[in-house]
């Protein structure tokens, strides 16, 4: 369970299942302030983790916009001399706005943890099959040298 400190005013959140896009950024540094501008502009919410940052896009899920945000995070990080790994996934969350204006959310299944596990390529972005299938004609993808394992599932090359 995570708590987001900032809520986009246009969100109508009532503690129910929501489709979400997740960007999980692993970094040895706290990078939230330096790289989260583009996420907020695209309607996402972000918060720091012990190992980097999570950005969440709720409801109006546009995989291309989410990946553009991830690319912007990667570019800003490189410009600042930071080394990051980014995983992008789509899935469901349970989301609830608290009376204080904070947002509470919980991952259904492995929505967030799968994005975290995809963040394995340093200075690169790895997307889930769900993301790839929506944007494969809009972006150029580079094949991984080989598939890799995530809890018994092999991530295949495209």
The separation between CA 31 and the C-alpha centre of its own chain, rounded to angstroms, equals 14
In the predicted model, is pLDDT for residue 29 greater than 80?
Answer: no
- Residues 73-125 have pLDDT tens digits of 999 988 888 889 999 999 988 888 778 877 777 887 788 888 988 888 888 89
- At the second CATH level, the architecture of 2-155 is 2-Layer Sandwich (3.30)
Predicted model pTM: 0.80
Note the pLDDT of residue 23: 93
- Euclidean distance between CA atoms 100 and 153, whole angstroms: 40
| SS3 track for 102-122 | CEEEEECCCHHHHHHHHCCCE
In the predicted model, is pLDDT for residue 9 greater than 80?
Answer: no
Note the pLDDT of residue 2: 42
Note the pLDDT of residue 146: 58
């Amino acid at each position: 369970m995570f708590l987001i400190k900032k809520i986009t005013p246009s969100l109508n959140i009532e503690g129910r299942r929501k489709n979400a896009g997740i960007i999980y950024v692993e970094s040895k540094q706290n990078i939230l302030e330096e790289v989260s501008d583009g996420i907020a502009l695209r309607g996402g919410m972000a918060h720091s983790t012990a190992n980097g940052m999570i950005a969440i896009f709720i409801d109006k899920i546009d995989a291309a916009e989410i990946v553009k945000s991830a690319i912007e995070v990667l570019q800003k990080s490189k410009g600042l001399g930071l080394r990051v790994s980014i995983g992008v996934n789509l899935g469901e969350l349970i989301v609830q706005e608290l009376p204080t204006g904070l947002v509470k959310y919980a991952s259904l299944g492995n929505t967030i943890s799968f994005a975290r596990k995809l963040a394995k390529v340093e200075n690169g972005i790895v997307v889930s099959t769900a993301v790839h299938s929506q944007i494969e004609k809009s972006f150029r993808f580079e094949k991984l040298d080989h598939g890799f394992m995530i809890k018994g599932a092999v991530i295949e090359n495209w």
